[in-house]
């Protein structure tokens, strides 16, 4: 199967098609023989998740519902970072309307990604804090390059990871480990993340990362798709429904929280520290 895939992806008769996207914030390629899609986040320098990037991801995920997509590998074009998480500028002194629109798009994108019926793999080729970790955790399988950081570090920034972020982590590493990690806002090294099961496999380098992602995909493509996706959604439906049934409340929490003067102060200080680095 690996040889077949190599022929399909590297062979002279390339059957890889660029997926027409309205923006270049995501590069999307579909292998027309296998149906496997690679979605590469492409918002330099660190793929911070602003409204436009989330909208581009959401639009792609909707489009994939009507394509012959058999699986999706999510990765990044940045050399050092998978995603730096939510764009802090979306939370720093926004208008209420802008913040509401942003949060709604984050919810939309997460719901689509978390509930995708086809196999999804995060090929984590760099740091993946906070919202970046959420994206990775929303995929079914996570593979990461060495010596990078991943985790829900919100507490360390003086903000709180929403319930659905927390649920995703709990579903992967268990309640006790998640509670400790969330209270402390731990950023794990790739190696630590592999030990606690936050990631499934460590890759040796970027080439190995993509090879392992395709290997996982090949295994999944060998399974009956309806049975596969039914089991997946069965495992995920409680977490999904918890947000779907409380989107408005969740948005209100977000708005009320970020408009607190103390939170705005923390964000300002953090942004300044990042710029000074
Ligand atoms: C009761 C219930 C209440 C619920 C309330 C809800 C409240 C809010 C919930 C919020 C949920 C999730 C939050 C997040 O996702 S917040 C984002 C957290 N992210 C981080 O902490 C990561 C910050 N970035 C880094 O640590 C590093 O950038 C990096 C990812 C490790 C990469 O390092 P690098 O050295 O390669 O790059 P660096 O020089 O640091 O950055 C390059 C430029 O990018 C800017 N930048 C970095 N991260 C962000 C970001 N997240 N948003 C916006 N901009 C970012 C950085 O400032 C540099 O800019 P410039 O080039 O200097 O202009």
Among left, alpha and beta (phi > 0; psi -120 to 50; other), residue 39 is beta
Query: Which ipTM was obtained for this model?
Result: 0.97
237 contacts: CB under 8 Å, gap ≥ 6: none
Q: Are 39 and 74 in contact (CB under 8 A)?
A: yes
168 contacts: CB under 8 Å, gap ≥ 6: 114, 134, 137, 138, 239
Q: Are 124 and 81 in contact (CB under 8 A)?
A: no
pLDDT at 7 over 90: no
pLDDT at residue 13 in the model: 55
Burial 162-186 (b: 16+ CB within 10 A, else e): bbbbbbbbbebbeeebbeebbeebb
Q: Percentage of the chain surpassing pLDDT 70?
A: 95
Closest Cα to atom 25 of ligand 1: 84
State how far the Cα of 168 lies from the Cα of 106, in Å rounded to an integer: 15
pLDDT at residue 5 in the model: 45
Q: Are 71 and 118 in contact (CB under 8 A)?
A: yes
Q: Which of 86, 113, 157, 187 is catalytic?
A: 86
Q: Are 144 and 194 in contact (CB under 8 A)?
A: yes
Tell me the mean pLDDT in the region 75-91: 97
State if pTM tops 0.90: yes
Q: Which of 153, 182, 185, 209 is catalytic?
A: 153
pLDDT at residue 67 in the model: 86
DSSP run (H or E) holding 155: none
Q: Is 154 a catalytic residue?
A: yes
Q: Is 54 a catalytic residue?
A: no
- Ligand 1 pocket residue status of 88, Cβ below 6 Å: yes
Q: Ligand 1: which of 41, 45, 46, 52 to mutate, judged by most atoms within 8 Å of the beta carbon?
A: 46
């Amino acid at each position: 199967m690996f040889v077949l895939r190599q022929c399909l992806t590297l062979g002279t008769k390339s059957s890889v098609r660029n997926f027409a996207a309205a923006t270049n914030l995501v590069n999307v390629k579909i292998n027309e023989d296998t149906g496997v899609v690679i979605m590469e986040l492409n918002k330099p320098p660190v793929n911070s998740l602003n409204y436009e990037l989330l909208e581009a991801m959401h639009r792609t995920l909707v489009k994939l519902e009507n394509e012959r997509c058999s699986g999706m590998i999510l990765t990044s074009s940045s050399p050092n970072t998978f995603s730096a998480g939510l764009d802090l500028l979306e939370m720093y002194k926004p208008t209420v309307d802008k913040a509401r629109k942003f949060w709604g798009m984050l919810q939309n994108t997460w719901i689509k990604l978390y509930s995708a019926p086809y196999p999804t793999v995060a090929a984590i080729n760099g740091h993946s804090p906070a919202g970046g970790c959420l994206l990775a955790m929303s995929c079914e399988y996570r593979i990461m390059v060495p010596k990078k950081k991943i985790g829900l570090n919100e507490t360390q920034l003086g903000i709180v990871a929403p319930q659905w972020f927390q649920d995703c982590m709990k579903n992967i590493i268990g309640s006790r480990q998640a509670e400790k990690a969330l209270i402390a806002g731990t950023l794990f090294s790739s190696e630590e993340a592999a030990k606690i099961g936050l990631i499934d496999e460590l890759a040796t380098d970027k080439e190995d990362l993509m090879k392992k992602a395709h290997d996982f995909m090949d295994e999944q493509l060998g399974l009956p798709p309806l049975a596969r996706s039914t089991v997946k959604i069965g495992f995920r439906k409680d977490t999904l429904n918890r947000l779907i049934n409380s989107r408005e409340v969740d948005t209100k929490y977000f708005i009320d929280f970020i408009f607190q003067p103390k939170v705005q102060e923390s964000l300002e200080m953090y942004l300044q520290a990042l710029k000074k680095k």
